[in-house]
């Protein structure tokens, strides 16, 4: 009861503060050895996507087209990737928006980021990826989706990523890895799927891909690190995943509901429990916001 009350209170508080603060996208620009960088600060808890400007002053002689890296600060709060980022920073090769409450990656979010090689969306709240979210990011080599809430991957979601070498989807809620997900990736080598809830794995992972290393620690059907996925040398435990795949009707079960008392004691429910505290976390973050520089 106390918890529910404090969540309600936090929500009311968050609403009050949100209604007084305008959504904004702001950069602090700096020269960095890896390239001219926008250190990003967004305030966009309602996920609007009609921004018309990016606040912040460029270094002398620099313009949007010079930006090579976009790195979010820890105080960024946004539930989407504002499309103004890719529309403005078209020559960026590294986009990193971490710890920022992103829940959805839409079809237009990354459309103009056509030379991106690293995308880091670690530690957000992503439950859905638009099926064509990565259609234009063909040069991505490194895609990091760790610590999100993905339960499945849209069919063919990674197909356009013909240069992808490393894919990290650790600590999500994936249950089944489908045939189509990793096929037609000529250079994909390392796939990290640790700490998911994988029950079944398509045998096509082994048969039709170039994946060399597959990390599967703390999943339901297998535990382990599989190096050089040669067909001969599958362990018994990975074999279970493959057998499961041929046996099963692909399930789409909802997120598990934590039984009473199962939060905060270190078990598979931990990250679901975390969802319940989002409102509080958000209001705290709003509380800590630095004053609006325009006031
Ligand atoms: C940024 O770095 C470049 C190359 O390292 C240098 O030419 C330029 O003067 C620097 N600009 C500023 C404003 O520091
Ligand atoms: C942007 O969208 C929000 C919410 O949909 C709306 O309230 C606001 O007026 C829009 N702003 C502009 C400049 O269109
Ligand atoms: C940013 O936030 C994450 C988790 O929310 C925390 O682990 C990390 O230490 C923070 N980094 C900085 C520089 O404050
Ligand atoms: C992605 O971001 C996480 C922080 O959440 C960081 O630990 C990790 O090193 C980053 N990975 C890359 C490849 O930049
Ligand atoms: C495959 O065989 C190699 C060499 O014997 C071994 O080092 C490796 O652990 C085996 N891989 C698996 C997944 O069992
Ligand atoms: C993987 O194993 C095969 C034989 O099963 C071998 O020909 C190949 O060179 C190995 N690749 C690597 C990267 O070790
Ligand atoms: C999949 O494998 C797990 C662990 O081996 C097992 O508990 C589960 O019942 C299997 N599911 C199906 C549908 O075969």
Q: Whose CA is nearest to atom 13 of ligand 2?
A: 50
Rounded to whole angstroms, the Cα distance separating 159 from 138 reads 9
Given the structure tokens 């382990």, which residue do they identify? 224
CA distance 284 to 115: 36
Instruction: List, for residues 58-88, the tens digit of each pLDDT value.
Output: 999 999 999 999 999 888 899 999 999 999 9
Question: What is the 3-state composition of the chain as percent helix, strand, coil, each rounded to the nearest 5?
Answer: 20, 15, 60
Distance 16 CA to ligand 3 centre (A): 26
Cα 71 to ligand 4 centre (Å): 11
Residue labelled with tokens 């435990």: 237
- The reply to whether ligand 7 has any atom less than 6 angstroms from the CB of 242 is no
Q: In which residue ranges of the chain is pLDDT below 50?
A: 1-19, 251-253, 279, 282-283, 286, 289-295
Residue of 41, 99, 277, 281 best suited for mutating to test ligand 3, as the one with most atoms within 8 Å of CB: 99
Q: What is the pLDDT of residue 230?
A: 67
User: Is 0.85 surpassed by the pTM of this model?
Assistant: no
Among 117, 92, 93, smallest CA distance to 187 is for 117
Ligand 1 neighbour 294 (Cβ under 6 A):
no
Q: Which positions ≥6 away from 13 have C-beta within 8 Å? A: 283
Cα 151 versus chain centre, distance: 12
> Reduced to 3 states, what is the DSSP secondary structure of residue 114?
coil
């Amino acid at each position: 009861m106390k918890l529910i009350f404090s969540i309600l209170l936090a929500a009311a508080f968050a609403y009050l503060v949100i209604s007084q603060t305008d959504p904004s996208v702001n950069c602090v620009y700096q020269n960095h050895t890896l390239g001219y960088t926008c250190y990003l600060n967004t305030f966009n808890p309602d996920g609007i996507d009609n921004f018309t400007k990016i606040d912040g002053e460029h270094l002398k002689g620099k313009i949007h087209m010079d930006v090579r890296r976009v790195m979010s600060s820890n105080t960024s709060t946004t539930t989407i990737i504002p499309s103004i980022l890719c529309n403005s920073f078209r020559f960026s090769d590294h986009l990193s928006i971490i710890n920022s409450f992103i829940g959805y990656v839409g079809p237009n979010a990354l459309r103009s980021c056509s030379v991106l090689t690293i995308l880091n969306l670690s530690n957000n709240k992503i439950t859905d990826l638009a099926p064509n979210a990565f259609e234009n990011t063909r040069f991505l080599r490194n895609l990091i989706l760790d610590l999100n809430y993905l339960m499945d991957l849209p069919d063919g979601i990674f197909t356009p990523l013909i240069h992808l070498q490393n894919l990290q989807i650790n600590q999500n809620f994936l249950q089944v890895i489908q045939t189509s997900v990793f096929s037609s990736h000529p250079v994909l080598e390392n796939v990290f799927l640790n700490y998911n809830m994988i029950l079944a794995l398509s045998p096509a992972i082994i048969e039709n891909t170039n994946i060399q290393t597959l990390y599967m620690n703390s999943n339901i059907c297998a535990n382990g690190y599989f190096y050089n996925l040669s067909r001969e040398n599958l362990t018994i435990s990975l074999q279970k995943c493959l057998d499961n795949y041929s046996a099963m009707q692909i399930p789409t079960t909802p997120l598990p509901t934590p039984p009473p008392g199962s939060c905060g004691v270190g078990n598979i429910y931990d990250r679901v429990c975390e969802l319940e505290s989002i409102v509080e976390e958000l209001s705290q973050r709003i509380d800590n916001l630095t004053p609006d520089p325009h006031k």
